[in-house]
Amino acid sequence: MSQSLVIVNGARTAFGAYGGGLATQTATDLAVTATKGALAKAKVDANDVDYVVMGNVLQTSKDAIYLARHVALRSGCKESTPGLILNLLCGSGVMAVANAEMLINSNQAKVVVAGGTDSLSMTPYITWGVRWGSRMGHAELWDGLDIRDTYPNASMGETAENLQADYKISREEQDEFALLSQHRFRDALAKGVFKEEIVPVFLKDRKGKEVSIELDEHPRPETVIEGLQKLKPAFKKDGTVTAGNACGIVDGASALVVMAEDEAKKRGLSPLTRVVSWAVTGVPPRIMGIGPVPAIPMALEKAGLKLEDIDLIEINEAFAAQYLACEKELKLDRSKVNVNGGAIAVGHPFGATGARLLLTLSNELQRRKARYGMVSLCIGGGMGIAMIIERV
């Protein structure tokens, strides 16, 4: 018999700007900080963790293949605790929680840390062929951040331009939505909304002095529409997608402590939310950003719910054009979506974002005493994921 999975609590690092305050931290380092913070907030001992599942998209450090296992060991988990690295690209953080549900319902684990992490600042340049000798001429270096999808031969920004063309979304609409994201994030920050979820990263500056990073570095609260309108297209000469109406490239990690609802009751814990349903599906790769459009109805059907039953929604803002296409197709009420801003403001550390959205949404449901929430992300390669949660 399947058991209801609950999100007991969680934590995330601040998201560091590209080349910013967290640039020297590996994805593993960041995930360890988030995991320790999540366990402390959940009031769960690291020795009680049976499995660590970490989403990670770009393996950017020398020991990256050991990431999830090292997170388990460095966070104080027992040596018998396995670590699984999971890569569903931008959906990795949500899929880590879905994977935890499968582990728990197959009696492989009782307590799981599920989350995601990425250090985009540490992404290396790569060369091929040198191992077998490069007798003459230059060796080409490939930028590991060039995440072009070779199947449709399109960068992620170009897939957003495709959606812009298909759905006739104007540059003005995109810039106005980007401004809304920045201002919603600014207002939430002023209210102290993110203090509940962020744990500080301690590191040493260039002078050897210990400093802590506990504020997101990418948001631009001073953004005005005139500034956004001046930005040049980033992916097409005559395009509409700019650095201002796309998500930020950042570094960060998020972690959630999850377990069966009965296990939480046994331990006397007070979870934030329970997982109601989830779904993953595919869409044409050339318009990968439309992924939430089929994923959301699938998750709703599994839950026996309708869109109007959902009180709050988080849709990852990979690009304003992508969000707006989903909004048009699903006829979303914008007042219920991304109420604290999104990735256009805070940034998108690929593997970490899904878990961040689940944590932010879980806390917001508690704050508003609302019942149902839903998280959804588009996924590179042409996919979408959605997960419905319910306040406990």
For residue 309, tell me if it sits in a domain. yes
- Residues 125-136, mean pLDDT to the nearest whole number: 84
Q: Work out the pLDDT band at 205, boundaries 50, 70, 90.
A: confident
Q: What average pLDDT does the segment 270-292 reach?
A: 99
Give the lowest-confidence range in 7-21, 199-213, 219-233, 307-321: 199-213
Identify the pLDDT of residue 231: 98
- Indicate whether 239 belongs to any domain: no
Question: For position 257, what pLDDT does the model report?
Answer: 99
Six-digit token string for 365: 């449901």
Only one residue has tokens 């959902």, namely 310
Tokens of 211: 């400093």
* Candidate list 77, 247, 326, 378, residue with the active-site label: 378
> What domain range is 374 assigned to?
5-122+247-387
- pLDDT surpasses 90 at 133: no
The question of whether 326 is a catalytic residue gets the answer: no
- What pTM does this model have? 0.97
Q: Is residue 102 part of a domain?
A: yes
pLDDT of residue 35 exceeding 90: yes
pLDDT at 1 over 70: no
Q: Is 194 among the domain residues?
A: no
Q: What 3-state DSSP class applies to 102?
A: helix
Q: Which of 118-132, 164-178, 196-210 has the highest mean pLDDT?
A: 164-178
* 3-state SS assignment for residue 348: coil
Within-domain flag for 151: no
Arithmetic mean of pLDDT, 222-245: 97
Phi-psi region of 217 (alpha: psi -120 to 50; beta: other; left: phi over 0): alpha
Whether 388 contacts 373, CB under 8 Å: yes
Task: Of 315, 265, 309, 312, give the one whose Cα is nearest residue 293.
Answer: 315
Q: What is the pLDDT of residues 72-130, one digit of tens each?
A: 999 999 999 999 999 999 999 999 999 999 999 999 999 999 999 999 999 999 998 88
Q: What is the CATH number of the domain that holds 306?
A: 3.40.47.10
* Helix, strand, coil fractions of the chain, as percent rounded to 5: 40, 20, 35
Instruction: Determine, yes or no, domain membership for 145.
Output: no
277 pLDDT tier (thresholds 50, 70, 90): very high
Average pLDDT over residues 209-232: 97
**Average pLDDT of the chain?**
97
Confidence of residue 189 (pLDDT cuts 50, 70, 90): very high
Long-range residue pairs from 211-215, CB within 8 A, at least 24 positions apart, any chain: 213/13, 213/14, 213/16, 213/21, 213/22, 214/14, 215/14
Per residue in 298-356, pLDDT (tens digit) is 999 999 999 999 999 999 999 999 999 999 999 999 999 999 999 999 999 999 999 99
Q: What is the reported pLDDT for 131?
A: 84
- Concerning whether 247 is annotated as a catalytic residue, the answer is no
User: Residue 35 falls within a domain, yes or no?
Assistant: yes
Q: Is 165 helix (H, G, I), strand (E, B) or coil?
A: helix
Query: Which of 281, 261, 280, 279 has its CA nearest to residue 271?
Result: 261
Q: Which residues contact 138 (CB under 8 A, 6 or more apart)?
A: none
- pLDDT at 391 exceeding the cut of 70: yes
Residue 174 maps to a domain? no
Per residue in 55-70, pLDDT (tens digit) is 999 999 999 999 999 9
77, 90, 247, 326: the active-site residue: 90
Q: Domain total for the chain?
A: 1
Residues 240-263 have a mean pLDDT of 98
Q: How far is CA 202 from the centre of its chain?
A: 22
